[in-house]
Structure 1
Amino acid sequence: MKSTTRGTLAAVVTGIAATVGAAGPAAAAGTVPVTVPLGGVSKALDMEVPHVGAELPLVRPGAPDGPRYVTGRLLPERTLPQLPVNSALPGLDARSPLPHVLGDGFDHVDVDAPASDLRALTPGLSLDAPLTAPRADNSGLPQTKLPEVGVLAPVLQTVPDANLTTGPGL
């Protein structure tokens, strides 16, 4: 095996090991950090390149509230229950050189948008049959009524945050 092939194989194995090693703590935190490797481009072009990193969220579905049986209805109150989902908005960390566009004191622009918590509920459905419950005054037979259909609206809660800064140095 050539030395270049061994070196490439070693680099791939090292990258996989680093990714697997970072996945455990990331799963506990709820996001997976991702860095775009631009170091080789910086050395090949002999210039400063931007630093780009991100945080990708892991989706964690929760347990739905089950159907609720209500007296006087043939079908439960929440026929198709809402599913809670907890996650995060993706985060971004980008820093780029800025060649004195804004004046002599500004050498970089930096965008920092950390991952923020996201709570959501999927849409649900509530149905009721076009019959009432059996009634004693009607010889134990149900009566007809208008059917009922209700859509439980989806819910989305989050508080995003971001910072844009410029300053000297990279």
Structure 2
Amino acid sequence: MKPTTRGTLAAVLTGVAAAVGAAVAAPAVAAETVPVPVPLDGVESALNMQTPRITGQLPVPMPGSPEGPRYVEGRLLPDRALPQLPVTAGLPGADVRTPLPHVLGDGFDHLGVGAPAADLRTLTPGLSLDTPLTAPNPDNFGLPEPKLPQVAVLTPLLQTVPGANVVMGAGA
């Protein structure tokens, strides 16, 4: 078997083993984020050089329960006819650590970038509307009076605080 075929086969087997190990180690339902390792060990052994260590975190979105319609005095339709749906999740995270060879000497330093998964809170757009008639008026023999219709779009909401760390130090 050629060395390139062996290296490719090693990289594929390492990727499959890492995917199976991650699936067994942490179920997605119980965690807020799912770890995603990028297996480069096969490439490292095939090319006989140090490769970066890369891992990521993918958030699991969790839908919340919407607020129900609110009844307002003087309106025929409830407020927030189409309610906003809250969804909590996170921004994806990443951790990259790459070796930096010394120009003079045998050792290695490293450069790392860590961007942990950040919490994310969202609300979907909503809709509030009212009919072009008022509530029944006792002064007008119980008949409603005409008025201008009202339509309002409730704006979506997006809240998060992302962060990242860049480090450089000794060691691979």
- TM-score interval, normalised by the smaller of the two chains: 0.7 to 0.9
Moved >6 Å (runs of 4+): 10-13
**CA displacement 1:9-38 (0-9 Å, x = unmatched):** x989865652432342x5323000000000
Q: 1:135 aligns with which of 124, 137, 148?
A: 137
In the comparison of the two structures, how many residue pairs are matched?
158
- Aligned pair 1:36/2:30, yes or no? no
Question: Alpha carbons of 1:163 and 1:105: their partners in 2 closer, same or farther (altered >3 Å)?
Answer: farther
Say if 2:14 and 2:42, in contact at 8 Å, map to a contact too.
no
Alignment partner, residue 159 of structure 2 = 157
Say if 2:97 and 2:112, in contact at 8 Å, map to a contact too.
yes
Say if 2:15 and 2:38, in contact at 8 Å, map to a contact too.
no
Alignment partner, residue 121 of structure 1 = 123
Q: 2:25 aligns with which of 12, 22, 25?
A: 22
The alignment yields a C-alpha RMSD, in angstroms, of: 2.4
SS of alignment partner, residue 20 of structure 1: helix
**CA displacement 1:16-75 (0-9 Å, x = unmatched):** 652432342x53230000000000000000000111100000000000001111111011
Unmatched tracts of structure 2, length 5 or more: 1-12
Question: Alpha carbons of 1:129 and 1:141: their partners in 2 closer, same or farther (altered >3 Å)?
Answer: same
Unmatched tracts of structure 1, length 5 or more: 1-9
Letter in 2 for 1:141: L
Identity of aligned residues (%): 61
SS of alignment partner, residue 80 of structure 1: coil
Alignment partner, residue 7 of structure 1 = none
Say if 1:105 and 1:167, in contact at 8 Å, map to a contact too.
no
Mapped partners of 2:51, 2:85: distance in 1: 43
